[in-house]
Structure 1
Amino acid sequence: MFNRLSERGPTARWLRRTGIALGCVVALTLSAGAWMTYQNDFAIREQRVTIPGPQQPLDGVLALPKSGNGPYGLVVFVHGDGPADASRDSFYRPIWETFARAGYASLSWNKPGVDGAPGNWLNQSMQDRAEEVTAAIDWARGRSDIDPDRIGGWGISQAGWVLPEVAARRPELQFVILVGVAVNWLRQGEYNLRAELRARNAPESDLATALARRDRTNQLLRDNAGYDRYLATGIEESPMSADRWGFVARNYLSDISPTLPQIQIPVLLELGEADLNVDVAETETVYRELVRPDLLTVQTYPRASHNIARENLDNGRDSVESFLVAVFAPRQIYAPGYLDNLRRYVEQQPARSTP
């Protein structure tokens, strides 16, 4: 009997240990799921809204503070380049939560043609985008839960050719926050090309070839060349689509310099020192020269990317670490201090009397 029990002992121990291990895996999985749910449960209430736009309705999201009835302040979001949905694939939600803690709602919308929204964002000029923002502001001012004296804007990247135009036209706005914005479209494109190649340690011959291609493309734009002519030249290994060519042709001369002296409201400029898209030194210099000093605040973040995300989690990296942080700790994507600075800035802005 003793020997028989002895023979079964190792199997029983293995089964027990396996059961314990599986239990631990299940517990860890449940804990991870609970943690992920907690980390992605933002202190906001999201409402789907339809905004009357200048060309077609805008499919939007109004992110309100978790509690209260308002009236709340409002931050109108303006996207950068690309086919962005209202939350920019949830990238905005930590920022919406930050503004909510300061008593502000956030308003954003799908670009035309994105997630079923009508239209095509590639058919827009920067002027068209500015008119969209103006229409959204007018719509929001008619809501009883929004304080018309506390409406500002937050814009990133390409929004730097959109939101300052709105700010210059709408002096009743409370503030604008500009993140990773450039000044001149053509200079920004060349800077980005050089920075990306430098980051990949590309040889000088690659840079020379890329710059030559860029010069030829820009000459076609200056010549008002059609898409067929652009394709026929075979300049680029991966040519733009016809819609993209039209978008670039409409917007490549964008330069915000003439508009900046017209701005009469507070401006917060948020810049990442590791930005590969924009020459942040040029941006800061031009804004300091052209925006009234008493209206301008500049905050620069070391080791932060174009999006004011931590450099090691952005700048084109597709890493496991980036994925894990995005899923399990989305607020940690951003550079230290960025979210707190946004909250403090809007809290400090006095309400502006509506004309």
Structure 2
Amino acid sequence: MTAGLVSVVLWQHSYAMDEQRVSIRHGGHTLNGVLTTPRDGRERHGLVVYVHGDGPVDATHDDGYKPLWEANAQAGYASLSWDKPGVAGAPGNWLDQTMDDRADETAAAVAWARARPDIDGDRIGLWGASQAGWVMPKVAARTHVSFVIAVSPAINWLRQGRYNLLAELRADGASASRTSAAVAKSDTTRQLLERHATYEEYVKAMSSDLDGMTADRWSFVSRNYTADATRDLAALRGVPVLLVLAGHDLNVDTADTERTYREVLGAGGALTAKRYPDATHSLLKRSIEQSDLKVTLTALFSPRSLFADGFVDGQRQFLTDLGRTSGATP
């Protein structure tokens, strides 16, 4: 019985692609990366460069990216990702970064990939989730990208924060008094940020009710709370963009995101918006994400089933169609 379970797990975690560790020099330090390539016998491939969302994310997102990388490989694309600074032994601290720092880092990774003989430099695009919505348009302003896959991207930091706060309170069935107190606390935090308060001032104002806010996190928020993608999105005009939106997103106001993308990018046909009604912010199936046990068991025994129906196939089809229009049929 045990041997059979082990065999199932190993089979489920065997992906149809080749994987190698790579090192990318940037700003005097090294990005510890992972490059996956298709097993199709071709000498050169297009590339999807991954831009993480918030948090201490490693190159594979705890292997969560691998089903997506496999789909990319099936469409004829390689995938590139790296550990955030300070994660999995990487030098630095991701909480010291601004969105511009992250864009510079990503542009350096694109330049590194473009110099490789096995990568088609004319077919390099970006994949990014959530916080990456503030990063990817900045990258496109720094270097040419052939496409963008934007998964649950945010538009405005402060609006997103307020939306997230109220959405989670509603989901918890919070009382009017609890909601009022939470909004007042959020307003106080905004005021402290606007006057560039120190972490010590924040701690004093919160009366030690810190909700996990560390000194490093306060510094990170202070650097980035004015982020707004609206103006930067202009760099994506004419670039094929797949905008992926979840039906149960408690983190990002998807209506605001879609409206802004359509207003800025226009009706030129380069924007494709896809909604997945049963998905959460992370594009997992809601029925799975609501249970830690289900997440663990599904990730172990059927990792490709974690994602909302149609999401992985939709990404693969988007890339396949790009390959056809570029003349590089997988």
TM-score strictly above 0.5:
yes
* Match status 1:70 vs 2:70: no
TM-score under structure 1 normalisation?
0.88
Unpaired stretches in structure 1, ≥5 consecutive residues: 1-25
Q: Distance in 1 between matches of 2:263 and 2:187?
A: 29
After TM superposition, the score normalised by the length of structure 2 is 0.94
SS at match of 2:29: coil
Note if 1:280 corresponds to 2:251. Answer: no
Equivalent AA in structure 2 for residue 304 of structure 1: A
> RMSD value over aligned CA atoms?
1.4
Question: Which residue in 2 is equivalent to 1:97?
Answer: 70
Which digits, 9 at most, give the CA deviation of each residue in 1:66-102, with x for residues without a partner?
3425201100000000000000011100000000001
Q: Who is 1:35 aligned against?
A: 8
State the Cα deviation string for residues 218-272 of structure 1 (Å, max 9, x = none): 1000001111111122253435111100000000000000112232311110000
Residue 77 of structure 1 contacts residue 107 of structure 1 at CA under 8 Å; is this kept in 2?
Answer: yes
Deviations 1:131-181 (A, max 9, x none): 0010000000000110111111100000000011112333x3210000001
Aligned to 1:263: 236
Question: Are 2:195 and 1:252 aligned?
Answer: no
- Aligned residue pairs total 322
The aligned residue for residue 306 of structure 2 is: 333
Superposition misfits of 4+ residues, deviation over 4 angstroms: none
- Structure 1 partner of 2:119: 146
**2:269 corresponds to 1:297:** no
CA-to-aligned-CA distance 1:21-45 (integer Å, 9 cap, x gap): xxxxx3xx32222111111101121
Q: Does the 8 Å CA contact 2:107/2:142 hold for their aligned counterparts?
A: no
1:306 pairs with 2:278: no
Aligned residue identity for 2:49: V
User: 2:165, 2:70 → 1: CA distance?
Assistant: 34
Give 1:203's aligned residue.
175
Q: Is the 1:174–1:351 contact (alpha carbons within 8 Å) kept by the matching residues of 2?
A: no
1:187-217 Cα deviation digits (max 9, x unpaired): 0001111111111111121111111001001
Is 1:187 matched up with 2:159? yes
1:230 to 202, 216, 220: 202
- SS in structure 2 of the partner of residue 230 of structure 1: helix
Q: What SS class does the counterpart of residue 46 from structure 1 fall into?
A: strand
Residue type at the aligned position of 2:263: E
Task: Give the letter aligned to residue 288 of structure 1.
Answer: R
| SS class of match (2:128) | strand
Task: Return the index of the structure with the highest Cα Rg.
Answer: 1
1:158 partner letter:
Q
Q: Contact 1:261–1:292 at 8 Å: present in 2 too?
A: no
Q: CA deviation at 1:318?
A: 4.0
Q: Distance in 2 between matches of 1:114 and 1:206?
A: 35
CA distance in 1, matches of 2:42, 2:278: 39
